[in-house]
Amino acid sequence: MAKMVSVASYNTSGVGGGRKPLGKASPLANSFSLIDYDKDHRFLIMDCPTNSTIPLYLKEFARLNVTDVVRVCEPTYQKERVESRNVRVHDLPFKDGDVPPASVLRQWRELLAARVSETASRAAAGGVAAGGSGTESEGDGEPTTIAVHCVAGLGRAPVLVAVALIERGMDPLDAIEHVRHKRRGAFNNRQIMYLAETYKRSSAGFKAASKIGLSIRSTPISSVSPAPSHSDDAAAPAAATAATTTAGNNNNTAAATTTTTTTAGAAEHAKATADADLALMGVHKSSFFRKIFGMF
């Protein structure tokens, strides 16, 4: 079962040459959520950077060993600035508040399978070079991280992370609850119903895909799905202001910016969260009765 850690409390002091942990003093502490995928890989759900705030994100990407950034909203920053730091940017946009189309799911699964396969290949090569069996894992090092963001990191990005957890074998309801536990307000009604009732785990799965030698992507992938609007994810319009005007300001000013919101936006966010909670309760009841009466 995946273990989720808040970046605000995540400590990297024991790895990577004594890196300092990302503490609550960071303006990004409240907009990052780390979710472990396995011992060698993890996800970082976040809101969208801008050209003015990208330096802050790049600094934390280095701390968290981010190798890829998947953006599912329209571009809000120049990807060249990220790729210059050896971090690959992948554009997989889909409609705001919606569920991912088949083309996005396919490319997302391919990316994850490729990274798992890539890690296994490096570990095998290292084991053979050291005179071992070639089956050792590189789990002794810091996990690699795939960052995923939409606008506020509360709709489209969490859906992709939940899909990854489901593909790895987690029960859909557990995946939803685990993501929401660390990312309060994640998912809207439609996304919850999609993950719990509609989405079906691929037959191959990531592990099987890596075993049959899935080709490793060395260049970013791009989606052919329609570009979404620049509006916030349906479940979280209030959080879209997080860390968007912090460049050139001190940390206190930046931290205040991440919590700035309008009264109307906060009310809408609260309502969307409450509606999603009710939807999840309905899914639980539906699944319970299906299991009791043998409808599965």
| DSSP result, the chain | ---EEEGGG---TTSTTTPPP--TTSTTGGGEEEEEEETTEEEEEE----TTTHHHHHHHHHHTTEEEEEE-S---S-HHHHHTTT-EEEE----TTS---HHHHHHHHHHHHHHHHHHHHHHHHHHHHTTS-S----TTSPPEEEEEE-SSSSSHHHHHHHHHHHHTT--HHHHHHHHHHHSTT---HHHHHIIIII----SSHHHHHHHTTPPPP-S--B--SPPPPSSPPTT-GGGGGTTSS-TTS-HHHHHHHHT---HHHHHHHHHHHHHHHHHHHHHHHHHHHHHHTT--
User: 77-81, 111-115, 215-219, 266-270: which has the minimum mean pLDDT?
Assistant: 215-219
| 72-86: average pLDDT | 97
Instruction: Tell me the residue type at 34.
Output: L
For residue 150, indicate whether it is catalytic: yes
| 94-113: average pLDDT | 97
> At the fourth CATH level, which superfamily is domain 4-292?
Protein tyrosine phosphatase superfamily (3.90.190.10)
Q: What is the pLDDT of residue 109?
A: 96
pLDDT > 50? residue 237: no
Q: How far is CA 59 from CA 125, 146, 236, in A?
A: 30, 15, 26
Q: What is the pLDDT of residue 162?
A: 98
CA 5, CA 32: separation in Å to the nearest integer?
10
Q: What is the pLDDT of residue 216?
A: 31
Give me the catalytic one of 47, 98, 150, 232: 150
Domain ranges of the chain: 4-292
**For all residues of the chain together, what is the average pLDDT?**
72
CA 99, CA 89: separation in Å to the nearest integer?
21
pLDDT > 70? residue 142: yes
List residues bridging with 222 in a β-sheet.
Answer: 91
Looking at mean pLDDT, say which of 4-13, 188-197, 262-271 comes out highest. Answer: 188-197
For residue 275, indicate whether it is catalytic: no
Q: Are 118 and 214 in contact (CB under 8 A)?
A: no
pTM of the entire predicted model: 0.66
- In percent, the amount of the chain with pLDDT more than 90 equals 48
Instruction: Give residue 186's pLDDT band: very low, low, confident or very high (50, 70, 90).
Output: very high
Give me the catalytic one of 40, 47, 68, 96: 96
